[in-house]
Structure 1
């Protein structure tokens, strides 16, 4: 191959150079025209379909497929050209896997984008999050695999790299041990990411509590998961953490939750009027979903009692707002209608002074 590629063996003349340029230009133009015709037909067919998947795939593979067709056209023209043929034979060993890898990468991206667009139109938020999570993890896994295989195929065409590979195969025992030890964290992350995609203990958009922090799952990658808290902080958690340790998922099935509001009142408080006012306020509130409203005395201490006011809402955000408004309304009502129920630290000053005087 290298002997054929030696420029000293070429018989370069003006006529040969012109013929080569004409042949290559004709091949490139023919490839571009054929690409334009094929994609004009594909775009028309995609527009007739109501599915967004084919539009996404056609849009993604347009550019890489153009270069793939140009590469095949140049290869066909170079087969009969003594001037370009030797050099192109050497370059095509590197160009071919790069173009095929680029095309495969674009196909995966197109399918992922189309399937995400379909999932976003789902009316079921839980099903939507599940599909988006599965698509995101599996598409990233496939793209990483495509990149690794493409780079490996390109590098194997380099003689020095290929010799190193042969040497490593000869000492496979030691090499496998070293590579296995070095790749253990990466393999653990890969397996954890695939397990999350299949079993789905959490999904993109889920509200979780991990390490004492509550936030939405913003991104799931093979090695880590990002959790966005209410104050816009981002918590980065290893993916394996969600498989090895327990965590709370507040929206695993749906976002319907029941939350408490605690009131600590004086033992002299009358519970029946407080319960009636609580139920009246909750029933009239637009965020209440009609499932749960209950007021129970959960604790009784010598100087206070604890009331738990349980309410429910259709979403986690609505529940938070409803709890805050219930707490505010009940304290306002207690101040206006039953102020003696509010806890006070009383000091009997007159009795204390009388005791001091007697002493």
Structure 2
């Protein structure tokens, strides 16, 4: 009975103690969140309650397992497993706490600064910092787990001795990967491209949807995702339409007849923009930019607060102007002038001239022969 009661008390007591401490900690964080609702730190720290309880439970079991006297022949293996679980849960908890602190700092910064471009830049930096921190914590946790094995500790000296040669070989083998990692850090702190920026790469227009240390994802207007290495943005030119602000100026080109009423078109453009919510009210204009023998090119200039609104505004202006011209001024649309073609006079040849001078009588006489005259019937008597 004692052999069964002892492990039950030790294991059950560790689990119950873990649940009580976890419940008390979560209650304190909930009260702090209600008392200081202006900062999201306490609410974000509650996300780490699972790894927190896992660390507590692994630590209690690791410290009291010898007293349980359970599976003594596997004591070393069980102790090693609990140590590995505790190290992994601790790394998980550290990442959750760091994420809560970084997210809180960004939230405070976002409440103070209202500039969208600056907020996207900070958000990009925060995201990449968290990825780097998670990678460092993960590497340290794995290294700590490996060092718990005696064989790994014995091989540590030889590994450190060959670390220089292995570093050179790994650097040559992973040259492209390392270049992408450094390019990702350069993008994060060099403010070249940010999350939410509208860019044009390889002729494709889209929005930056995700940035990591090695690759970048661009979401196009038709919901496609273009994934490319971050080193592309440090080695090749690209268009960033959100650089220095989101306000943009766009153009709409129309080809109309030379008789198009330009003053009325300017007034109509003004009315269209006033009724369009995507126009930011900064500027508009309508000018003749080119002329051909059959048409003239008219450019309507409009402004919007961001690239998405600019696209909507341009297609709306083009559609409304064409509809207005069709309904009220159809003569202003491009036309192709035509006229009746004059047939050329017939060519005169000697043969045609000879045929033209002939008459039916002369032609008939010409075809008569002396034989025809001989066999003509005689004239009636009394008529000479």
* TM-score normalised over the length of structure 2: 0.78
Gaps of 5+ in 1: 1-13
- Which residue number corresponds to residue 212 of structure 1? 203
1:124-168 per-residue CA deviation (whole Å, 9 max, x = no partner) reads 433443333222221122112222221222123334545555434
Q: For 1:142 and 1:181, locate their aligned partners in 2 and report how far apart those are by CA, in whole Å.
A: 24
Specify which of 327, 332, 336 is matched with residue 341 of structure 1.
332
Return closer, same or farther for 1:87/1:315 CA change in 2, 3 Å cut-off: closer
The reply on whether 1:234 has 2:221 as its aligned counterpart is no
The reply on whether 1:31 has 2:18 as its aligned counterpart is yes
Q: Please tell me whether the aligned partners of residues 32 and 42 of structure 2 are also in contact (alpha carbons under 8 angstroms).
A: no
- Once the two structures are superposed, the pairs formed by residues 72-221 of structure 1 within 5 Å of their partners are 72-78=59-65, 89-112=79-102, 114=104, 124-162=115-153, 165-221=156-212
Task: Give the structure with higher Rg (CA).
Answer: 2
Q: Please tell me whether the aligned partners of residues 30 and 43 of structure 2 are also in contact (alpha carbons under 8 angstroms).
A: no
The reply on whether 1:318 has 2:309 as its aligned counterpart is yes
Q: For 1:262 and 1:238, locate their aligned partners in 2 and report how far apart those are by CA, in whole Å.
A: 36
Superposed displacement of residue 219, structure 1: 1.2
- Which residue number corresponds to residue 9 of structure 1? none
- Which residue number corresponds to residue 264 of structure 1? 255
Superposed displacement of residue 339, structure 1: 3.1
The reply on whether 1:22 has 2:43 as its aligned counterpart is no
Q: Please tell me whether the aligned partners of residues 45 and 96 of structure 2 are also in contact (alpha carbons under 8 angstroms).
A: no
Q: For 1:44 and 1:60, locate their aligned partners in 2 and report how far apart those are by CA, in whole Å.
A: 15
Q: For 2:44 and 2:268, locate their aligned partners in 1 and report how far apart those are by CA, in whole Å.
A: 59
Paired residue secondary structure (2:205): strand
Q: Please tell me whether the aligned partners of residues 126 and 253 of structure 1 are also in contact (alpha carbons under 8 angstroms).
A: yes
1:17-46 per-residue CA deviation (whole Å, 9 max, x = no partner) reads 643442343344333323322332222122
Q: For 2:309 and 2:247, locate their aligned partners in 1 and report how far apart those are by CA, in whole Å.
A: 9
Gaps of 5+ in 2: 348-384
Return closer, same or farther for 1:210/1:175 CA change in 2, 3 Å cut-off: same
The reply on whether 1:43 has 2:30 as its aligned counterpart is yes
Return closer, same or farther for 1:303/1:161 CA change in 2, 3 Å cut-off: farther
- Which residue number corresponds to residue 306 of structure 1? 297
Q: For 2:275 and 2:245, locate their aligned partners in 1 and report how far apart those are by CA, in whole Å.
A: 24
1:288-347 per-residue CA deviation (whole Å, 9 max, x = no partner) reads 222111112222233332221101122323222221121122222333444333222333
Q: For 2:15 and 2:268, locate their aligned partners in 1 and report how far apart those are by CA, in whole Å.
A: 81
Q: For 1:269 and 1:41, locate their aligned partners in 2 and report how far apart those are by CA, in whole Å.
A: 75
